[in-house]
Amino acid sequence: MMNRTVGKWTLPQPLGLKDENEWLPVPKIARTIPFGYQVDPDDEHVLLPIKNELDLLEKAKDYLKQYSYREVANWLSRNTNRYISHVGLRKRIDDERRRKNKAGIYRRWHNIAKAALAKADELEQKRLNAKANTDESGSGTEAGST
């Protein structure tokens, strides 16, 4: 399964999800190693999180409310000793935002489909009950008329 699009990489879930400050490994799906991850020496198809980089990236998201992408990317590069350009930072933030929005949309669609299915089941049950009532009343009149 390939989650790669032209010019971008997208990490599959659970990127950004953490359990009590614990970052989770993710599968490697592209040649580019995203900021905050490194290739697992035991399995080249798995990316291991770098806690310090990911924690600083979370902090950088808060700084973006006040400073430019260029300034925040420079700060992030200085503090992690790993280069990230302002364009790379913007792409990373935008991709995460888009992925989070997509997950919300899928949840809403799931709830709408679930409600529609429940309504369809209710209508089908009413139809079956109505048919059963007409069959009972109809079979009684047929037996009496014969």
CA distances from 56 to 67, 68, 80, 100, 140 (A): 15, 16, 8, 20, 78
Residue 130 has pLDDT above 50, yes or no: yes
Q: Mean pLDDT throughout 70-87?
A: 94
Q: What is the pTM of this model?
A: 0.57
Instruction: Decide if 86 contacts 69 (C-beta within 8 A).
Output: yes
pLDDT at 138: 65
Backbone angles phi, psi at 125, to 5 degrees: -65, -40
Structure tokens at 142: 């047929």
